[in-house]
Amino acid sequence: MALKIYGVARSRAFRTLWMAKELGLDYEHVKVDFATGATRTPAHLALNPNGQVPVIDDNGFVLWESMAINLYLAKKYGVGTLYPTRLEDEARAWQWSFWGMTEVERPVLTALFNRTILPEDKRDAAAADDAEKQLAQPLRVLDGALGGGANLLGDNFTVADLNVASILAWARPAQIDMSPFPKVAEWLKNCAERPAARAARQLQRE
């Protein structure tokens, strides 16, 4: 098969699996599990020297970093649908993807780990609360941006929405209160209810 996606669905590989489902791609899922040390084997390090997933191998072209992978796949297979055609919209897709990684991912993960993932005696409630406070500013920005249309680049769902929503998918298990950000809450729900998102979530249960 031409495209291989490395990484179990309960890792950041979820983002890429969701993208592949949106694009209707045929792919081989190589279920490398970060929890077993499988990301640190010589074979995996040869693909991604960071020892992480996701990674893709698209017919011999190897790429890591979830946002870069999704932008690449969307541009290769989804111009005019998931990937914008206007240069300015393309730049906004990058803007939102970088923003998600730099402004949102760390605090949402801090809340997630300290509220649900770590063993109870290792959780730091204050760190989680602090992370939720830090998230308020970017969530206000996102709420404001969603005032102009149903999605980040306008009416249509694009890679910008998928990339940011796949990071914010952790907000619910992290028990982030979304009530001050009603547009974000509605947009996130719509993104999560897409058939491709549901199909990717199903992979987390297998």
Ligand X SMILES: N[C@@H](CCC(=O)N[C@@H](CS)C(=O)NCC(=O)O)C(=O)O
Residues binding ligand X (CB under 6 A): 11-12, 34, 39-40, 51-54, 65-66
Helix ranges (H only) for 113-206 are 125-145, 159-168, 182-192, 195-205
Which of 42/80 has CB closer to ligand X?
A: 42
- Could you tell me which of 122, 103, 105, 106 has the C-alpha nearest to residue 114? 122
Least Å distance, CB 129 to ligand X, is 24
Residue 144 CB, shortest distance to ligand X, in Å, is 25
3-state helix vs strand vs coil in the chain, percent to 5: 60, 10, 30
User: Residue 166: CB partners within 8 Å, gap ≥ 6?
Assistant: 14, 15, 18, 66
Residue 63 vs 150, nearer CB to ligand X: 63
Instruction: Decide whether 27 or 181 has the Cβ nearer to ligand X.
Output: 27
Q: In whole angstroms, how close is the CB of 186 to ligand X at the nearest point?
A: 26
Strand partners, 61: 58
CB of 3 to ligand X, least distance (A): 17
Of 18 and 181, the one with the shorter C-beta distance to ligand X is 18
Distance CA 115, CA 128 (A): 7
Please report how close the Cβ of residue 163 comes to ligand X at its closest, in angstroms. 10
| Total Cβ atoms within 10 A of residue 21 | 20
Task: Choose between 84 and 100: whose C-beta lies nearer to ligand X.
Answer: 100
In the complex, the smallest distance separating the C-beta of residue 75 from ligand X, rounded to whole angstroms, is 17
Q: Is 34 or 157 the residue whose CB approaches ligand X more closely?
A: 34
Task: Map residue 183 onto helix, strand or coil.
Answer: helix
Using CA atoms, how far apart are residues 94 and 164, in angstroms rounded to an integer?
Answer: 11
